[in-house]
Structure 1
């Protein structure tokens, strides 16, 4: 009997460990990925097939396209600087691991320092992507056909972990991530997309978390979720919470207005605790999305003006408040939402905001979207995600920029 008792205790202990290991954590990172060994890369010019580690404090000049082959790794220590010439791009078939720090971020930019002047990270067949504390600016240079390239594109069922980074002045989708398992946390995306392009475009069975990000002045939608019309399963399903989405969706015009968050084509979204200000459309749930399983609430909607002229057809005056939940979608105001009825009502009270509604690609983001102490966004959240709304929260878990 005693042996049986001890046996049951051991089984119970093992079951407890297994169950605890399966519990969903608020955020998941892939920083413990085992990647192939790499060696230091000497500073100076790089191009062609490259593997190894970019070194702290060193400057690298990319004179032509760089390819990281399958099984190889391109890594970076904090504080490396990469200057890209000749509209070159990084093609990632192996592993990309850029690990900056708050005190020493990594920098990628073109030598021209102008929007759309290098090709970004084309990582369709990559094995893993990790980007932390990096500035990635002025991507989206044209491909051979003349079309703007996405800043980061993945078309593979791999882990993609992008945290605490800054992205400015891209020309198309800032992130186009298909099939991937994503962790997109505490980033700042500013003034991207020339006349089109989403900030975070997740499709084709993508899974994961998008939280505590700031998306400002994106041409298209801030965050877009879709699966596939031809391959409906596995479904895209993403938690979208505590993001601050400001002045998005205007550069495409009324024919296809951008949204703060959109869910369509059999995708599932769980959309909570976001602050949405001056976006062409707020939350749009399309009739082809999986609205049975999509959930949402505790979002704050605000507009600094009553109407604004459509950029493509200025004769159209857009009532932003009417489009918090646009009539073209099936989303409805929720009892837990904070929905502004007039200027001043439910103003989120950013520390500094210039009132921008629509702006051109490359418009400087000089705003400070942290919240004043009297903001209505505090203590208004769904506590499954956070007590507060928006990217900057009182518990210190939010955006660190």
Structure 2
């Protein structure tokens, strides 16, 4: 691991250090050189619990090696260098609910002006990356636009072109495995996840403030098998889920997405496309128990290149505050009706009765309040309307780095959160 201690920390990074210090009364206050390290280039081994790592240039986990990031680590990206985090080997980020890992920018750059990030690249897992885990991780303020000088462009990664807005996570090994759970992805310029390969579980996460003029929260392509469940997705620019078999990699994309809550999707896209869940190009998808509120459209297909006919869609709950929104989730050749859907034709009908969220919030609002609570009240019509009568890919587990990760069992309610 290319790593050097620094005796002087630039003023740009001072705020990040201050916010991450341990305030225990009985311990000596660590000096900056003890608490913080500055690094770039090849990295592997272990980043130790509770430390802050300042990143001054692109990071590369070499092929055949692994990097483990422990709970409570803060990784601060230089907003001038806008580093990319390239994973040729394996990456294991295992935080806890009480002590998550944060990959961020200096505190002074976390502003309304920079709401859609673009201040560092993203985590780019190359086809040589076999395993990746993000558990209790906060990813924020990334999604920088590539140039001809970008490491990802030079190495032929992601779309390998200048002018591309990087996702928070790109995974591309059709024989690889990854898990993202209990995490937050926010403040990214375009897609949060762009997945072109592998077996995966994406569960119990929050996605918000993503996509300035384009982009989905979770974007799956061919070569993938996934369980996507219990995610809260708020105001993606276009869709919460974009599911496609584009690329024609083997295996065919087969995505099982269930018990997700998608709110305010699609209204910020300048041109009309989708606005909740988009399905296309022979993707095999099973969609169950998803709650779609105040989004621009219902589940929408590409009529010229639709989903695999074996796909199953059922038990979707719809709510629209405006009549325009309600009209655009009614069944048509484009809007896919499912079995046992819970729906309405009246604006304001079918109130899901979230514990704390003003349903009158404008559809194009992208500012998320952590005071909102998308659990269901005891009298919510979304309770007891879900189905558990289906098989998920990884009910018996996906083994990564010796740990068995299991996709969560489906719930009898619709949406990502039941009652408290």
- Smaller-chain TM-score bracket: 0.7 to 0.9
1:135 Cα shift? 0.8
Aligned to 1:304: 321
1:182 Cα shift? 1.3
Task: Tell me whether 356-365 or 292-301 shows the greater mean CA deviation.
Answer: 356-365
Aligned to 1:47: 40
Q: Is 2:359 the partner of 1:359?
A: no
Verify the 8 A CA contact 1:302 1:321 in the aligned structure 2: yes
Q: Which of 97, 105, 118 is equivalent to 1:102?
A: 97
**Residues 85-123 of structure 1, C-alpha deviation per residue, up to 9 Å, x if partnerless?**
021110010111100011111111112223221111011
Q: Which of 83, 98, 102 is equivalent to 2:76?
A: 83
Aligned to 1:150: 167
Q: Is 2:284 the partner of 1:262?
A: no
Q: Is 2:362 the partner of 1:345?
A: no
Q: C-alpha separation between the residues in 2 aligned to 1:194 and 1:258?
A: 15
Q: Is 2:88 the partner of 1:93?
A: yes
Q: Is 2:225 the partner of 1:207?
A: yes
Structure 2 unaligned segments of length 5 or more: list them. 1-33, 148-161, 390-409
1:65 Cα shift? 0.6
Q: Is 2:413 the partner of 1:392?
A: no
Q: Is 2:298 the partner of 1:282?
A: yes
1:53 Cα shift? 1.4
**Residues 210-240 of structure 1, C-alpha deviation per residue, up to 9 Å, x if partnerless?**
0000000101110111112x62753211111
Q: Is 2:130 the partner of 1:127?
A: yes
Aligned to 1:19: none
Verify the 8 A CA contact 2:180 2:201 in the aligned structure 1: yes
Within 5 Å, give how 1:170-189 maps onto structure 2.
170-189=188-207
Verify the 8 A CA contact 2:297 2:335 in the aligned structure 1: no
Aligned to 2:402: none
The CA RMSD over aligned residues, in Å, is 2.0
Verify the 8 A CA contact 1:285 1:291 in the aligned structure 2: no
Aligned length: 340
**Residues 276-327 of structure 1, C-alpha deviation per residue, up to 9 Å, x if partnerless?**
0011112113332334211111110001222xxxxxxxxxxxx111221564
Aligned to 2:384: 379
Q: C-alpha separation between the residues in 2 aligned to 1:138 and 1:148?
A: 12
**Residues 50-85 of structure 1, C-alpha deviation per residue, up to 9 Å, x if partnerless?**
112121111110011100011111111111111100
Q: Is 2:338 the partner of 1:320?
A: no
Aligned to 1:273: 289
Q: C-alpha separation between the residues in 1 aligned to 2:103 and 2:237?
A: 22
Structure 1 unaligned segments of length 5 or more: list them. 1-40, 307-318, 397-401
Q: C-alpha separation between the residues in 2 aligned to 1:201 and 1:215?
A: 13
Q: Which of 244, 247, 251 is equivalent to 1:226?
A: 244
Q: C-alpha separation between the residues in 2 aligned to 1:362 and 1:121?
A: 24
Q: C-alpha separation between the residues in 2 aligned to 1:101 and 1:182?
A: 20
